[in-house]
Structure 1
């Protein structure tokens, strides 16, 4: 059977990660298809116009397609404001009817303003991770990392780096636990800690670390005293892996997004005639975790510190461009 675009991308990215691990002095034997799987409380459905978890749907607008993700209660509550009208008996019927005659640009702009995880299919054209503020540093002894990320992409990145011999602390805020923290494949090799994000104890951990992984938007972290200037002053030798939906810098930095809608944003979809379908389960998440680990190992092997800006949508765009044939 010919593998789909998601599996081709995972296999290709895993080969690159294995090469980066060898350059770093580690050995990784990875099953790309296996890394696309995750533990879920209920069985997932096959991908199609709906995502396998049934939280995200392709919705046709007047001049194109949107990927609309309503995984959170707050997203569903925002639908009337987004569509400027009352809900029908079914939320998805309201969304489908409300988008049908409107332009995708109009719908996307209003969704972004409301903080809804909505993307235009194929909107992202600039692929891959980018580096900011890189500087040469000296590292002695074993490497340590702090993983503040949640869900899938960031924890997977940390798990892959841990398999290369890097010791990680998995830190969760008391009021916002990571729902995947108990997943052994993602976090089993990490020491779990519960700390407030603005606590002196967390800053001490970051000050002593070589690597920091985050998956929050820049403004949310800045409110806790974690911005580039502050952390560079705290720890000049820190490699910060900043995983976001649409990018760390610029106007896209405050957009909300998850693995399914961001995969669609990057064009990482399959097509049924003129209809885009999801090509897997939240594909942008695991592929970003793999790509982030690869970029991190290359940066560490080169002796650099700084910020790696790695977005779900950008990784999806890169995967679609390189493995979509």
Structure 2
């Protein structure tokens, strides 16, 4: 039995004897100073096992085989790098995103989205007057070199921007998964189906990347997934394409009475609600835990955050790259020249995404068995703490190179053009490894459920 898989399965509340049902095959990848390979295969393993468990509950019989190929895992964890749209790769990081020397250390910035870019520049007093990115990058480097790293971090935070001081390694105290079982509202058995999540309605209020990875996985498993975005909060095309498989995408302004009424109709019919915004950001719309428990005690609710739920940074914005910097992963992975480094994949995002999907599948299993819904919470910081804290252990061949990715890539048509993209690494006998629905144009689907 793989120790990391057993640990994650226990955190999900699964029966201990089932953890040994996961088999790993294939050529490993994701070599790193930290046990990223172990994290990646364990998170995909428990997600696959949770899907198999729900499938068995729906159909009876034995537990479907779970055989996770580590080559598929390595490619899926770097899916954004393999994506091609009409033969072209997608941009990954903008010129103002990255590591920069500060007066007393290093800072990591994230400026991929225009509003984050504007806030970062404003926080540092850099006018954005139509200059090209190379000019702005030189100006940014000059300003950052004169400021202490923590000063940059706090200035950016106060302005709603994104910059984090690179810190020494310090595992977070955040749990890997938090679960709260609600009162029994009556068993909700699901009809038999070849797909574990068939007919489950998932309302997806998440953005880059962990939440969309989770809901993309639920879409693969048969769920009716509808992603809802605010009309003014534009999504990056490449990110949307990479994580938009198996779901539909709509836009609603919750401040608008008509859109709010539409959203309330969707919520009333949902089985699962997934929230990926900062803690408290959506409470004014009645999406806080207490209100949801009172209104929909049978609703499975998942919350995702960057920095966790208990510390001083819990309400801050964050992305995988920033959590790597702030928890010390960047120091562990630094190069011989002392420059901070990164993991071989956005493993906090992808790993947390598969854990989140697993937690939702297990919640559906328990609701079907007992009638008790669950609220679950995960964070990138919790996953980082698991990676740094020694709970994963090492796996033989951690530094082995991955095989050629072509066998794990597939072609499909979409409104954006011809796509070449990664298959899903989730591996349950009888479940497909690619989606029957390509990404639709962001925000263009009708705000209604596809299933009756």
Matches within 5 A, 1:190-209: 190-198=247-255, 199-209=260-270
Distance 1:109 1:324 in 2: 34
Matches within 5 A, 1:206-245: 206-245=267-306
Aligned CA RMSD, in angstroms, stands at: 3.3
Distance 2:138 2:230 in 1: 37
Q: Which residue of the partner structure matches residue 271 of structure 1?
A: 334
Find the partner of 2:362 among 272, 295, 298.
298
CA contact (8 A) 1:212 1:239 kept: yes
Find the partner of 1:35 among 29, 54, 76.
76
Moved more, 29-38 or 215-224: 29-38
**Number of residues of Structure 1 aligned to a counterpart in Structure 2:** 310
Q: C-alpha displacement at 1:220, in angstroms?
A: 2.1
SS in 1 for 2:341: strand
The 1:3/1:169 distance shift into structure 2, 3 A limit, reads: closer
Compute the TM-score of the two structures, normalised by the length of structure 2: 0.59
Find the partner of 1:91 among 140, 154, 161.
140
Find the partner of 2:322 among 250, 257, 261.
261
Larger radius of gyration: 2
Q: Which residue of the partner structure matches residue 312 of structure 1?
A: 380
SS in 2 for 1:171: strand
Distance 2:239 2:106 in 1: 36
SS in 1 for 2:334: strand
Distance 2:31 2:233 in 1: 35
Q: C-alpha displacement at 1:213, in angstroms?
A: 1.2
Where structure 1 has 5 or more consecutive residues not aligned to the other structure, the ranges are 46-50, 82-86
| Deviation sequence 1:242-279 (CA, Å, 0-9, x none) | 11111245643321111211123344441324543112
The 1:148/1:35 distance shift into structure 2, 3 A limit, reads: same
Q: Which residue of the partner structure matches residue 68 of structure 1?
A: 109
Distance 1:160 1:287 in 2: 12
Q: Which residue of the partner structure matches residue 14 of structure 2?
A: none
Q: C-alpha displacement at 1:282, in angstroms?
A: 3.7
Distance 1:183 1:144 in 2: 20
SS in 1 for 2:221: coil
Q: C-alpha displacement at 1:286, in angstroms?
A: 1.6
CA contact (8 A) 2:228 2:251 kept: yes
Compute the TM-score of the two structures, normalised by the length of structure 1: 0.80
Distance 1:157 1:237 in 2: 21
Moved more, 230-239 or 192-201: 192-201
The 1:44/1:200 distance shift into structure 2, 3 A limit, reads: closer
Q: Which residue of the partner structure matches residue 25 of structure 1?
A: 55
Q: C-alpha displacement at 1:316, in angstroms?
A: 2.2
CA contact (8 A) 2:203 2:273 kept: yes
CA contact (8 A) 2:29 2:37 kept: no
Q: Which residue of the partner structure matches residue 4 of structure 1?
A: 31
Distance 1:58 1:124 in 2: 23
Moved more, 201-210 or 111-120: 111-120
SS in 1 for 2:250: strand
Q: C-alpha displacement at 1:156, in angstroms?
A: 0.9
Distance 1:283 1:91 in 2: 28
